A and B are shown apart, each in its own frame.
Chain A
Amino acid sequence: MSENKEITILKSGGEEWGSGSAQYIDFIITEDCNLRCKYCYICHKQTGHTMPLETAKKFIDYLFSGAVTQMPAVVVSFIGGEPFIETDLMDQIMDYFKMKSYISGSDWCWNYRISVTTNGVNYSSTTVQKFIKKNADKISVSITIDGTKEKHDLQRVFPNGSGSYDIIEKSIPLYISQFPATTKVTFAHDDLPLLKESIIHLWKMGINDVNANVVYEDAWEVGDDIIFENQLKSLADYIIENQMYENNFVSLFDPLIGRPFDEERLRRTVCGAGVMLALGPNGKVYPCLRYKDYSINSDKAEVAIGSVDEGIDFNKVLRFRVSNCQIQCDEECLNCDVAIGCSFCQGQSYDAADTPTNFQRSKYICKMHKARVRASRYYYNRLLNEKHTKVEGMRLTPKRMYFPLADDFVSYCEMENPNTAIWEEMGPDVVEKGLEYCYENFYYPVFVHSFNNPDLSIGDKYTDHRITHIVSARHYSETKKLNDIILVFDKDTIDIPVAYQSYVILNVNWEDVSNLYAYTAKLFKITGRINLNLYGLHTESQLEVYEQELRKITDFLIESWNKNIMYEFSKITDVYFSKKQDSCNIGEKSLTIMPNGDFAICPLDYLYNSKPIGNIYNKSVLVPNQKLYSLDKAPLCVSCPATHCNRCAIRNNIDTGEVNVPSFSKCMPSMIEYKISKDFQNHFGKALGINLRTLTEYEFENPYEAFLEATDNRFGYTIV
């Protein structure tokens, strides 16, 4: 396997100052601006609406009166309109804030930052430079420059309609000499075709760290997502061809986006509205400036949470504190395969919602987000495959598409492939169409190679895709050029020397189960994790031997875990990491494409049932009775504590006639494994400081007994 170098996704500025420990306080010191940017969300700018110094002082007095608890640090932001048209006011407010915080004995007197986001028009003026110099160690400034002159002047114009690029460009060298060079770029319908050249232009100006986003508003037209995706892919090509990927960043490419929601993300919302405080010129306090009337486009009322005269009414803050994605998203978003990174502005969502609620997220960027996810994957896949550069934080999602490349594909799960010879291989046309389908529908492709005669040069051909290759260890020497491989070992390949693998599969026949520990001990010399598959039918005596072998493996694990080497053996350690039963997601998230182009639930299902669920040529997929594949519809599995069991719908179907009902022969080894895992747990306690699931005593022989107890169903015969 090729050596991957890790590059960090941290941008040049590193972690945001005070991240997680700072209170954000915004002073909207003016509602006026010297520009009239076409995409600006402050849709009701007003001349003359400037914050009186006394209003700011009252608010500062309130903050230090003891009425509001304080975070350890504070970020005081000045926004507008354009804050640098009121620089003297900003300076007076800060002087008062600093003195007041000192007198109050607050840590905010030293643990603070000033943040200013400006259009840059006045940046080089004596007044602004004096303010920056005075606060040199405590201030961060972000100038908005949108890219090329054409792109910038398309949106960022003076009230007379003329572009502002020329005047702002002159200040950029001074800005770069004073601050880490960064900017925030916004793209809308009109300027999408200028995206690539704009980002490159900013990099060439010396702004290496570009934050960019698309507008959240209802401003997109049919086909914009395609333009966006093509621009991003073209930018990716440019970065890679010009070796610019280690020193230039644009936030549109992000390795962390494009996964389904997890529980932790559902519990949070997208921004700090209601945690931060924004003071308006009129003395009202807002959860964020986007809830102030000057930013509301609909006929809804602005949302204030208090005022400098009456303080903050926490009842009005509550709606923001309890907001989270679980409540704010609809079913489509909650079930989206690529939900992470699809951001929204809570204030804009309130503005666009059907009723005046904070609990209905805006979805106008849905297609644009999906285009961004596809382009991001394209970029990082090319980096990995062509530059052998693996980006920190990138994770594969559970949505996989399996490509059994030949009839004799290597067995990789608990169902053994009965085919030992090749009659049919997958042709390039099906492979390409399948990969295209994966790209469009956010599947990760998994190539399951021929056991006997794999074509491993296939990895060179599709560098736009992140492909996992499952290969028999007997072909290890041919896998050097592949980035993601999973080697499959069996008794005949157990001694093949291979380089360290993070994860391997071990296939063992029940007849050979007495050698399980010996095989495992050998493999742990070259890997940190073994996924075990047992094939053939077991007898009662084989189960006894299996338990003995697992106990030997447990002794090995106890020794290693006590040395802080956390080897994982699927049948013993997986149960600590899952509260609900795992599965390979077939029928739900995973899909298979057969060599003839048919879609199948899984390769084994197709072999046993010969029933396709669609075809790549018409791109249709329909899983009949799909609900039966979900854990909720598996009556014996849903409450089973042996969550590592990897319930196999195909095997269930063969054994019991239903995909969601396991046989006793499936459950019995799982019960033994659970018992062993529970015993193992007593030996390591809270190993390595990781929060592992605590296993409890299972009082039943098998899940059917538990089911009878739970349903109070004692009728009917049993077999003795």
Chain B
Amino acid sequence: MNIDKVQITNEEIKQFEAIDEKRNALRNLIFICENNELLRNEDLYSKFLTDISKTENERTQLWNDIMDKYNIHDDEHHELELDFQSGIITCVPKS
């Protein structure tokens, strides 16, 4: 890993926030479909799965764009963490 800290812009923080909000909401909807018999709906369930896959891809793409922009290189022993309040990405050893 070639960095200790990177500061991203507010706009980029918002992009990450929105994607994470969507991902968490879709996970929740999948959980409801799997556990609430009254609301179970196979068509919706498969839509949720498609949507979450799309959202995961968008998230990966955003990380890749950020890594390119800030010249961050990946490393198998470390992972990146984003502090949503400060917008600082730090590199920490993989747990």
Please list the residues of chain A having a beta carbon within 8 angstroms of any beta carbon in chain B. Answer: 14, 95-96, 98-99, 102-103, 109-112, 134-135, 137-138
Contacts and interface: CB of A to CB of B under 8 A. Distances in A.
A98 B44 contact: no
Contacts of A137: 20, 24, 28
Contact of A134 (B18, B25, B28): B28
Contacts of B85: 14
A99 B32 contact: yes
Given A14-B85, A95-B36, A110 B31 contact: no
Contacts of B26: 110
27 contacts: A95-B32, A95-B36, A95-B39, A98-B28, A98-B29, A98-B32, A99-B29, A99-B32, A99-B39, A99-B41, A99-B44, A102-B29, A102-B44, A102-B48, A109-B25, A110-B21, A110-B26, A111-B21, A112-B25, A134-B28, A134-B31, A135-B28, A137-B20, A137-B24, A137-B28, A138-B24, A138-B28
Contacts of A134: 28, 31
A111 B25 CA distance: 8
B41 to A, nearest CB: 8
Nearest to B36: A95
A112 B41 CA distance: 22
Contacts of B28: 98, 134-135, 137-138
B62 to A, nearest CB: 16
A112 B26 CA distance: 12
Interface of B: 18, 20-22, 24-26, 28-29, 31-32, 36, 39, 41, 44, 48, 85
A169 B21 CA distance: 32
Contacts of A102: 29, 44, 48
A111 B21 CA distance: 7
B52 to A, nearest CB: 11
A570 B31 CA distance: 64
Nearest to B27: A137
A98 B39 CA distance: 11
Given A103-B44, A110-B25, 20 more contacts: A14-B85, A95-B32, A98-B25, A98-B29, A99-B29, A99-B41, A99-B44, A102-B44, A102-B48, A110-B21, A110-B22, A110-B24, A110-B26, A111-B18, A111-B21, A135-B28, A137-B20, A137-B28, A138-B25, A138-B28
A110 B31 CA distance: 14
Contacts of B25: 98, 109-110, 112, 138
Nearest to B55: A110
Nearest to B51: A102
Contacts of A95: 32, 36, 39
A109 B18 CA distance: 12
B14 to A, nearest CB: 12
Nearest to B19: A110
Nearest to B23: A110
A14 B17 CA distance: 15
B93 to A, nearest CB: 24
Nearest to B22: A110
A517 to B, nearest CB: 42
A134 B24 CA distance: 11
Top 9 A-B pairs ranked by shortest CB distance? A110-B25, A137-B24, A110-B22, A95-B32, A110-B21, A95-B36, A99-B39, A95-B39, A14-B85
Contacts of A110: 21-22, 24-26
B15 to A, nearest CB: 14
Contacts of A109: 25, 29
A22 B79 CA distance: 33
A94 to B, nearest CB: 9
A413 to B, nearest CB: 43
A14 B85 CA distance: 8
Nearest to A102: B29
Contacts of B44: 99, 102-103
Given A14-B85, A110-B26, A96 B21 contact: no
Contacts of B24: 110, 137-138
Contacts of A14: 85
Contacts of A111: 18, 21
Most buried by A among B20, B21, B36: B21
B22 to A, nearest CB: 4
A1 to B, nearest CB: 30
B23 to A, nearest CB: 8
B29 A96 contact: no
A90 to B, nearest CB: 14
A95 B44 CA distance: 14
A110 B51 CA distance: 12
Contacts of B31: 134
A269 B28 CA distance: 37
Contacts of B21: 110-111
A50 to B, nearest CB: 19
Contacts of A138: 24-25, 28
Nearest to A136: B24
A493 B94 CA distance: 63
Contacts of B20: 137
A14 B86 CA distance: 11
A98 B24 CA distance: 12
A110 B36 CA distance: 19
A17 to B, nearest CB: 10
Nearest to A15: B85
Nearest to A138: B24
A103 B51 CA distance: 13
Most buried by A among B25, B32, B36, B39: B25
Contacts of B29: 98-99, 102, 109
A112 to B, nearest CB: 7
B36 to A, nearest CB: 5
A125 B28 CA distance: 21
A137 B31 CA distance: 13
Nearest to B21: A110
Contacts of B22: 110
A135 B41 CA distance: 20
A102 B29 CA distance: 9
A709 to B, nearest CB: 52
A473 B87 CA distance: 44
A126 to B, nearest CB: 16
Contacts of B39: 95-96, 99
A574 B41 CA distance: 66
Contacts of A99: 29, 32, 39, 41, 44
